[in-house]
Amino acid sequence: MKKLRSLETPEFQFFNPYDDIRFTANRLPHWQQKGAVYFVTFRLADAVPQQLRKQWESDREAWLRFHPQPWDAETEREYHERFSGAIERWLDAGYGSCVLRHPDCAGKRFTTLMVTAFRKSLGWLCLITCTPSSCSIRLGLWRRLF
């Protein structure tokens, strides 16, 4: 009778901007940190309408001119509410073709493909969340990157 080994998963460790970071140009994730948990979002090309995206880029560019870095905590919070939050709200609104709404596109084959790709290349999967226009994955690294 074979004895099964228990699966060991490391503790969650969030990205630390003050710790060692490996920067890569052609390999995702572009910023790598040993033991860090990553949150990756894939969105469909038409998930954010071009008009909204162009307005967002223009507003962001103007805001950044008046708010140069480094930022204090309040300014950073304002940036994320205005710009990161806007993108998230638009993704949740269901613009575009929303092909991930169809079971044949977002079902078992799609999820298996994503999980397999990340398990083989990066590490262990924490969570997958799909909307009709995007897919978000939380994962941790198990390979030594440094």
129-143 pLDDT, tens digit each: 777 787 776 666 554
Cα–Cα dist 129/92, whole Å: 12
Q: What is this structure's pTM? A: 0.58
Cα–Cα dist 133/69, whole Å: 32
Beta carbons within 8 Å of 146's beta carbon, 6+ residues apart = 20, 22, 34
The whole-number average pLDDT for the span 34-48 is 79
pLDDT tens figures, 70-108: 999 999 999 999 998 898 888 888 888 888 777 777 665
Rg (Cα) of the chain, in Å, rounded? Answer: 19
The whole-number average pLDDT for the span 38-61 is 88
